[in-house]
Structure 1
Amino acid sequence: MAHILVVDDDPDILELVTLKLRSAGHSVTAAASGELARDALAAHPDIELAVVDLMLPGMTGTDLVRALRAEGSTLRVLMLTARSQERDLVSGFSAGVDDYLTKPFSPRELAVRVQALLGRR
């Protein structure tokens, strides 16, 4: 299976997503901020996909994705956020997000979307 980075500042969401992805057989690295996510990506070059919250302390999820894309990263990114307005979706996709899922979310749908993104290797 894949190595996945989960980035969320809500410890309950971070734990839920981590547990769901691990139960699906994936290896998971967790980070509570965009800065910690960048550190994790540098330390784990085998990460294939990131599940990123939009609203993070300091660097937002959108800022993180823009920075990764500016560096040439092709890491697949699923934005997981409570922000569901059209402008948020447009901003996310414009930054380079591959998929967008709003909270509250179905853990089953999350697993299916992750698998679909991983299938695009």
Structure 2
Amino acid sequence: MARVLLVDDDADIRETTAIRLQIGGHHVITAATPQEALDVAAGQPHFDVAVLDLHLPRVDGDELLDLFRGHQATADVPVVFYSANAPHATSVHGLSLADTKLTRGRPLNSLLATINCLSH
């Protein structure tokens, strides 16, 4: 079981994704904004994985990753980008952080498999 920080501004996607990850056996804490995510991370035990939406208001994926890397509580947490609107895999700072399978086919199952791999 992984401790997952899920950040998504869309309440429906956030809830659906959280439920699927919980069914998969993970403990999920959600946040709707980058600031909320940083506040939650500061007040919680260490997260095993962070799942970040690529398209948050006023912050794009690489800016959010920079915020996470600059914050003590999330600096070393593995990050998976996940978005309902991403047409293809995303690469940030030259490091592939997403897989095309996460945005095609059965994305929630693929996300769950990725989290399982990262948290072991």
TM-score (norm 2): 0.81
Which residue number corresponds to residue 31 of structure 1? 31
Over the matched positions of the two proteins, sequence identity in percent amounts to: 30
| SS of equivalent residue, structure 1 residue 46 | coil
1:69 corresponds to 2:74: no
The CA distance in 2 between the partners of 1:68 and 1:108, in whole Å, is 25
Change (3 A) 1:43 1:71: closer
Query: Is this contact kept in 2: 1:34–1:64, CA < 8 A?
Result: yes
Which residue number corresponds to residue 81 of structure 2? 79
Q: Please report the RMSD computed on the Cα atoms of aligned residues, expressed in angstroms.
A: 2.3
Change (3 A) 1:106 1:5: same
Q: CA offsets, 1:4-47, max 9 Å, x none?
A: 01100111110111001111111111001111111111111321
Mean Cα deviation higher: 23-32 or 53-62 = 53-62
| SS of equivalent residue, structure 2 residue 86 | coil
| SS of equivalent residue, structure 2 residue 59 | coil
1:111 corresponds to 2:112: yes
Larger helix share, 1 or 2: 1
Change (3 A) 1:95 1:70: farther
The CA distance in 2 between the partners of 1:104 and 1:63, in whole Å, is 28
1:102 corresponds to 2:114: no
Unaligned runs of 5+ in 2: none
Question: What is the number of residues matched between the two proteins?
Answer: 115
TM-score (norm 1): 0.80
